[in-house]
Amino acid sequence: MLETSYQGAGVRLAGESYGDRGDPPVILLHGGGQTRHAWRTSAELLAGHGWQTHAIDLRGHGDSEWSPDGDYTIDAFAADLRAVATAMDQPPIVVGASLGGITSLIAHADTEPPNSLLAGLVLVDVAPRIEAAGVERIGGFMTAHLDGFGSLDEVADVVAAYNPHRPRPTDLSGLAKNVRQRDDGRWYWHWDPAFVTGRFGSADETRSSMLNSTRLQDAARSLTIPTLLVRGRMSDLLSVEGAQELLELVPHARLVDVAGAGHMVAGDRNDLFNDAVAGFLDEQRS
């Protein structure tokens, strides 16, 4: 693993690269509020399959720079991905979870000539049609503790309440990668609060830029690259109907429905998730 820096659209993005430089590239983009560390085992496995794998923190997340003007619209995230992808020797395949998936879809659709940015796309528990209840639950989680936590145990309690189907972690070192302790002694999520408070225009403007279903449907309909949708069977964000709509918009796409997983598919069932993604990627090289 090599700590790496990538040039986005006016911000520097932190990341990690795995594998050999001559191998075909894969970019892993996490969901909103997460960091590149969510991909560690997936990145290592894909590198072992002969892919140069790049796990990148989105702008305002993890160790990447915060947007100087608070711009966290989908177009800003897409511009970052476009800058990173076009700097590579060949078009990468992107594995995008939630916000990372929407970012990939928009970035690819808005690049000229059409279908030139990416070599393939894996959408992880996201599609043009998503459920309002799931969106609200995520929003509630992200805005509930902007004043931080008194301890890592408090962080673990909140995460366990959000993901009740997962056992509460006993080793808190993993959680420490997603929070930072400030001078006041409290622990804060490691992302720019403007990402959820909507300092750019308004929270509604930022949110609507990401959830414009007509734009996302048009983007999906334009896809000709190999496409895989990985859904968590217990997801409250992507329903069976939402997944089916994606398959109708992208007839050549395939669906993997992961049992025992919610919206955080890779974290819930990393073994099944990795098998599905590695199999799909390996097919693109055969």
Q: Residue 206 — pLDDT band, cuts 50, 70, 90?
A: very low
Q: Say what the pLDDT of residue 143 is.
A: 84
10, amino acid identity: G
Say if residue 45's pLDDT is above 70.
yes
Global pTM reads: 0.92
Domain residue ranges in the chain = 2-130+203-285, 147-192
- The whole-number average pLDDT for the span 4-16 is 97
Q: Return d(Cα 169, Cα 153) in angstroms, integer.
A: 9
Q: Which of 127-131, 168-172, 211-215 has the highest mean pLDDT?
A: 127-131
Q: Say what the pLDDT of residue 198 is.
A: 62
Query: What are the distances in angstroms from CA 252 to CA 110, 186, 222?
Result: 20, 49, 12
- The whole-number average pLDDT for the span 40-68 is 96
CATH number of 2-130+203-285: 3.40.50.1820
Q: Say what the pLDDT of residue 270 is.
A: 94
Residue 17, strand partner residues: 2, 54
Say if residue 238's pLDDT is above 90.
yes
